[in-house]
Amino acid sequence: MKFRIWTTLFLVTIAQVAWGQTSTNRKLVNAEATSPEPSVNSYTVLGATSDQETLVRAQIRIMQPDVYPLRVLFVSHWKYVDTARTFRLHVPAGYTSAMFTHLPSRSVFIDSDRYVSDDSLGYWIAHELGHLAANSASENAADKAAREYRKRLKDARKPDVR
């Protein structure tokens, strides 16, 4: 029963994000966008296993992005594709194809069925955080901003830094 409630809440949240074009939801998005900068732990992680959530939060903490996401959503592949289509996002094959960012709602979507490894997760999250930092859908702008985040991730992995 608990699981069912959680699932429903999750789907409602997805729906709010995915169909954010209605007036009430647009207000919600605007309210969030103008609220004080979310910091290290004030964003939500949805749909992740506890290991994934711990990992994502740790990686984002290390990267210290200029702009934090409001939410990070792990979704099934069909939902991922469906959501991308709803946002009319072009998700180029083989390029950031396991995640994308919806800038107006500062939501990062991760295709949980294509979750490859911890390292690649951090690598691509850096790219998505780059989109947020640059506030741009441009892949070049995102990669440019991601460079510093990837460097921080790499430095954190060096044994002598710990």
Query: CB under 5 A: which stretch of 67-75, 84-92, 108-116, 140-148 binds Zn ion?
Result: 140-148
Looking at residue 49, its amino acid is T
**Strand positions, DSSP E, the chain:** 44-46, 71-75, 99-102, 107-111
Strand 99-102 vs strand 107-111: parallel, antiparallel, or unpaired? Answer: antiparallel
Which of 94, 124, 92 lies closest to 109 in space, CA to CA?
124
How far, in Å, CA of 122 to CA of 39, rounded?
18
Q: Which is nearer to Zn ion, 56 or 134 (CB)?
A: 134
Binding mask 13-52 for Zn ion (x = CB under 5 A): ----------------------------------------
Nearest distance from C-beta of residue 145 to Zn ion, angstroms: 11
In the complex, what is the shortest distance from the CB of residue 110 to Zn ion, in angstroms, rounded to a whole number? 13
Name the residue nearer to Zn ion (CB basis): 10 or 143: 143
Q: How far is the CB of 84 from Zn ion (least distance, A)?
A: 12
Give the list of residues 6+ apart from residue 12 with CB closer than 8 angstroms, or none.
none
Residue of this chain nearest to Zn ion (CB atom): 96
Q: Which is nearer to Zn ion, 25 or 97 (CB)?
A: 97
Q: What is the CA radius of gyration of the chain?
A: 15
- Count of positions on this chain that bind Zn ion (CB under 5 A): 3
Residue 84 to residue 59: CA distance in whole angstroms: 24
Q: In the complex with Zn ion, which residue's Cβ is closer, 15 or 116?
A: 116
Between CA 144 and CA 43 the distance in angstroms is 24
Q: Using CB under 5 A, which of 13, 25, 44, 96 touches Zn ion?
A: 96
CB of 130 vs Zn ion, minimal distance in Å: 8
| Residues that bind Zn ion in the complex, under the rule CB under 5 A | 96, 139, 142
